[in-house]
Amino acid sequence: MNVTIFPSTARGVVRAPASKSVAHRMMIGAALAAGESVLRGVEDSEDMLATLDCLTALGAAYEKDGDRLTVRGVGGDLSRSTGIFPCRESGSTLRFFVPLALLKEGTSLFTGAPRLMARGADLYGEVFAGKGIAMEKSPAGVAFTGRLTADDYAVRGDISSQYITGLLLALPLTEHDSALRVLPPVESRPYIDITLGVLRQFGVAAEETEENVFHILHGPYRALTADVEGDWSNAAFFYALNALGGDVTVTGLSPESLQGDRVCVELLERLQKGFCEVDIAGTPDLGPVLFAAAAALHGGRFTGTRRLAIKESDRAAAMARELGKFGVKTQIEENAVTVFPGGLTKPTEPLCGHNDHRIVMALAVLLTQTGGTIEGAEAVKKSFPGFWEALRGLGIAVRVS
């Protein structure tokens, strides 16, 4: 799908979509609880659909009516698990479900897009070394054999917080208490805090006994009825439109949210004031939109960018390539990206979405300034299927072909 955007100024009110990060975790909590949970605000993005597929594989059942999701959980009993978990392109789904699948003895196979299978779950091989769990890759996917037991675990904190979340979600359902040590440096700590908050909602306790060391209490998940809060990660694209001269009010967000990406407002304000250095190690999903804003404003240097290479695309390289089509120069280092100021012009060729929702949405923000076309714009379905309609609602001229 191609999308052409014409130079426009965004004005109006838009509601942030529900948080994908929070929804993943709440859906899993509902699946693990006994009884029926009702979650309001679960949208039909590709990542949410992947998690729903895996809830079914785990043995849970669900009904969906619009954004209202009713889940009948397994109560910790995985005897009905199919052992085959289709993760599509969702790294969160893959890394969250590996420890959950291992609550049942045997072999579980995880399938999905080739890039996901290649980058997906390697750290678990290190985490489970000596724990009686084997990992094997094949053309069919990634298989894990063994059983997750209560124990002391250690996991690196500089690869992806999703591994940490997967263990935090699963270990309460092992036979007794466990410990999890997150080895420094710990990046994306706000995502760990989101997980701890969701566990509390479901009546599960994981206590931080010392910095980045968690004592996980054995105990059941309790069913609940709750709303999924708004998503600061996707709201950042609307705030970026404000930084470029728009007048957009974003509703549905909690200023007290544990989501680290709520810092987007502060970071965009800094970029508006002039060239500055920004550390995004804790909020890597903001990388593309901040690069785009810097390109249209005064430039910027971004550190903590190493992990952008293992997202849906190599996000630093992808943005550098597309910014070059605007005449903007960038420099990529091992753990930093510099976007140089000046030179923003209308692209002379179509932009590529790199099959990455955040790349597409970041480029869309820039095109409101210059006009132009994005190829592969359907990637927004991964997290924000209504993005193009939301832009139209703000007065942005969008043509889909």
The domain segmentation of the chain, as residue ranges, is: 2-17+230-400, 20-227
Alpha helices in 224-382 (DSSP H): 232-243, 264-273, 287-296, 315-325, 357-370
- Give me the pLDDT at residue 298, please: 97
Banded pLDDT at 310 (limits 50, 70, 90): confident
| pLDDT at position 342 | 84
Label residue 338 by pLDDT band (50, 70, 90). Answer: very high
Task: Look up the CATH architecture of domain 2-17+230-400.
Answer: Alpha-beta prism (3.65)
Q: What is the pLDDT of residues 159-173, one digit of tens each?
A: 999 999 999 999 999
**Residue-level pLDDT at 187:** 86
Percent of the chain predicted with pLDDT > 90? 95
pLDDT, tens digit (0-9, with 9 covering 90-100), for 223-258: 999 999 999 999 999 999 999 999 999 999 999 999
Of 177, 166, 167, the closest CA to residue 218 belongs to 177
Instruction: State the pLDDT at residue 120.
Output: 84
- The predicted structure's pLDDT at residue 397: 96
- Fold entry, domain 20-227: UDP-n-acetylglucosamine1-carboxyvinyl-transferase; Chain (3.65.10)
Which residue's structure tokens are 């996991």? Answer: 155
d(CA 259, CA 339): 26
For 36-61, the pLDDT digits (tens) are 999 999 989 999 999 999 999 999 99
Reply yes or no on whether 227 is catalytic: no
The one catalytic residue among 47, 231, 261, 285: 285
The per-residue pLDDT for range 110-137, each reduced to its tens digit, is 999 998 998 789 999 999 999 999 999 9
Q: What is the pLDDT of residue 346?
A: 97
